Structure 1
Amino acid sequence: MSHVVKIQFVCAVIIFMLQNLKILENEYKCRLKMNQDPPYNKSGLYCSRNWDGWLCWDDTPARTYASQSCPRYYFDLEPTEKATKYCGEDGQWFVHPNSSTTWTNYTLCGINFKDKLRVMST
């Protein structure tokens, strides 16, 4: 293994560790916020506040799309785009049919990733 490859590997590991540290930090802040925010007090069904592994989501009225900026702590995500999460008419977060788990739509977050890779490789 050449020195360049070793350095690239070490840099990749450091970036990975920093990203994971940022995720843990944001999860901690989210859990604090979820515990400190007052209970949902509007009438009707709603989806409960939620940490999805990347972002913190507030209580959301049924039949509503919640959205927020994509996370900044991943290089391959575009923070100017939006992630969305749907609260169904039953007051439950949308469950993806393939995974049978609640799902947040991050597809727009990676929209410029190929452009970034192309610029980096030139």
Structure 2
Amino acid sequence: MLITVHKCQFCFADRLWCPLEFDGWTCINATPAGENAIFPCPYFVVGFDTNRNLEIYSFFACFILFSPGLAYRECTKDGTWFVHPESNKTWSNYTTCVDFEDLEVSNGINNSCC
């Protein structure tokens, strides 16, 4: 199932935009400078909570910046994607996608086996 979170319906040439980009997991739409692209967590990543994200997306997408189950990418004021200082590469924040309950169970199993 494909979900469009942000469609550029009124793109003005006199405003800076971060370009459309694929980060390896998600195709991120062009985003106005100084704003954040918000998109659902990928359904195919083990340990991400996709049920929660779809529920939150469908009800709150117009009113939130960040919420568990939604990932985001920062478009800086100069119209470039945020570059992570450690990797020196553009970065999407998927930390809000992690299902911590699942992670805790997985870590418990891993720690008890070794």
User: Does the TM-score normalized on the shorter chain lie above 0.5?
Assistant: yes
Which letter maps to 1:41?
C
Which letter maps to 2:49?
E
> How much has 1:111 moved relative to structure 2?
3.8
**Per chain length, whose mean CA-contact separation is higher, i.e. which structure has more relative contact order (CA < 8 Å, sep 6+)?**
2
Alignment length (residue pairs): 85
> Is 1:106 matched with 2:94?
yes
TM-score, structure 1 as length reference: 0.60
More helix as a share of residues: 1
Structure 2 equivalent of residue 66 of structure 1: 37
For each residue in 1:55-94, what CA deviation from the matched residue of structure 2 results, as whole angstroms up to 9, or x when unmatched?
A: 0111100000111110001121122201100000000000
Between the aligned residues of both structures, percent identity stands at 33
State the superposition RMSD in angstroms. Answer: 2.7
| Structure with bigger gyration radius | 1
Runs (5+) with no aligned partner, structure 1 = 1-25, 27-36
Mapped to 1, the partners of 2:35 and 2:11 lie a distance apart of 16
Which of 17, 26, 33 pairs up with 1:55? 26
Structure 1 runs of 4+ off > 4 angstroms?
A: 118-121
Matches within 5 A, 1:17-32: none
TM-score, structure 2 as length reference: 0.64
